[in-house]
């Protein structure tokens, strides 16, 4: 069961060209800068945009093949989509928004509403909001409705375009776990959030200027991101831990000071370039300093990406010049430091 995308989608002024992209079951994260074709990729899979040429297969059957004259329209594809702008039906109650797909599949009103209620419970929307119109809900609540609505008709493929942007942080973890064990066989996750990639994605597709710049597991793509944007994006460190006040204890036992207060399980994220390396214990303002064993150094032009092992796996971007000065080699024990203000807490 795969989604195979091998073709071209023409837009005004540019085109998305995808050569032999295969997406197996599970979550595929699609990343890339704005305007690189992420949404277009999703729309083509959903059947909202047609291929100019090439071939799209979903679960073994051809969905779009202009040369063969095949185009399965969106409503026959079993591909649901959570749109970036949500697109909830303003004239329908929340419960009926979710019931919409079930009704189209032939369910009666009562049955569809029952099922819709179950889904709304799963996405954590308070039942007081069910009979209201979407306009009366907060941004985060609307997002949950959109996800529940897309999941309702039990699609083969669920495309989620920037899903968690407007959800409050407490809801994000819940929705993330929902997407993680989504009933849809395939989830195509268009995202700007490194945590999504680190925690959900079985594989990552990097788009750059309308073409696939990198693909593979998160680790493979991180090693070979294919473009500057993805390198920076994937350079973000994502470390799970438990927050208590303004400090977080990571899984390896390292205690990090952070600038914001939180409690319970969280992710700590910070960019690779925020980590500085020292031969000796650093003095000064950086309160977060720890000793780590250097596991690998990747040199890419003037940039060096340093991979540190225990107590937590962390990436650090430094200049090649500094790397030479520090005389870095695998196995070396070195001091790493990180400013508390560079750390973002994601729940």
Question: What is the contact surface with other proteins in residues (CB under 8 A)?
Answer: 46-48, 73-81, 83, 85, 87-92, 100-101, 103-105, 149-150, 152-153
CB 22 within 8 A of CB 176: no
Phi, psi (degrees; rounded to nearest 5) at 220: -65, -45
178 φ, ψ (degrees, to nearest 5): -65, -45
Q: From the CB of 105, what's the least distance to other proteins, in Å? A: 6
Report, in Å, the least distance between residue 84 CB and other proteins: 11
d(CA 46, CA 158): 9
Helical residues (DSSP H) of the chain, grouped into ranges: 38-46, 94-104, 109-122, 139-151, 169-180, 194-200, 218-223, 228-234, 320-326
Instruction: Kindly tell me which of 148 and 316 has the beta carbon lying closer to other proteins.
Output: 148
CB of 325 to other proteins, least distance (A): 55
Cβ proximity to other proteins: between 146 and 262 the closer is 146
Structure tokens at 193: 């959030």
Nearest one of 29, 46, 38, 30 to 11, comparing CA atoms: 38
Q: How far is the CB of 78 from other proteins (least distance, A)?
A: 8
**Alpha-carbon span 62 to 341, nearest angstrom:** 50
Nearest residue (CB) to other proteins, 104 versus 279: 104
Q: Residue 185: count other Cβ atoms within 10 Å of its Cβ.
A: 19
- State in angstroms the smallest separation of the CB of 48 from other proteins: 5
**Choice between 153 and 309, CB closer to other proteins:** 153
Q: Which is nearer to other proteins, 66 or 153 (CB)?
A: 153
């Amino acid at each position: 069961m795969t989604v195979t995308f091998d073709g071209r989608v023409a837009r005004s002024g540019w085109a998305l060209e995808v050569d032999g992209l295969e997406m197996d079951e599970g979550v595929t994260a699609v990343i890339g800068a704005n305007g690189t074709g992420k949404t277009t990729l999703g729309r083509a899979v959903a059947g909202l945009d047609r291929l100019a040429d090439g071939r799209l297969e979903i679960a073994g059957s051809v969905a779009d093949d202009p040369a063969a004259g095949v185009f399965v329209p969106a409503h026959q594809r079993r591909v649901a989509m959570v749109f970036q702008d949500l697109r909830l039906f303003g004239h329908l109650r929340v419960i009926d928004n979710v019931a919409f797909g079930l009704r189209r599949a032939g369910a009666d009103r009562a049955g569809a509403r029952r099922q819709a209620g179950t889904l709304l419970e799963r996405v954590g929307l308070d039942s007081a909001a069910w009979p209201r119109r979407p306009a009366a809900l907060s941004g985060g609540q609307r997002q949950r409705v959109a996800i529940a609505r897309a999941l309702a008709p039990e699609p083969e493929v669920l495309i989620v375009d920037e899903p968690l942007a407007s959800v409050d942080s407490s809801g994000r973890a819940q929705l993330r776990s929902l997407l993680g064990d989504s009933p849809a066989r395939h989830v195509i996750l268009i995202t700007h959030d490194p945590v999504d990639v680190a925690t959900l994605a079985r594989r990552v597709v990097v788009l750059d200027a309308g073409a696939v710049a990198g693909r593979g597991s998160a680790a493979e793509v991180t090693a070979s991101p294919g473009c500057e944007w993805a390198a920076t994006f994937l350079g973000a460190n994502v470390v799970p831990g438990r927050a208590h006040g303004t400090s977080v204890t990571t899984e390896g036992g390292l205690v990090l000071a952070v600038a914001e207060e939180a409690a319970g399980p969280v992710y700590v994220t910070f960019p690779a370039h925020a980590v500085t390396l020292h031969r000796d214990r650093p003095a000064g303002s950086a309160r977060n300093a720890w000793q780590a064993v250097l596991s690998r150094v990747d040199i890419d032009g003037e940039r060096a990406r340093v991979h540190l092992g225990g107590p937590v796996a962390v990436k650090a971007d430094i200049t090649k010049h500094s790397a030479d000065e520090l005389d870095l080699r695998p196995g070396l024990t070195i001091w790493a430091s990180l400013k508390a203000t560079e750390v973002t807490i994601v729940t």
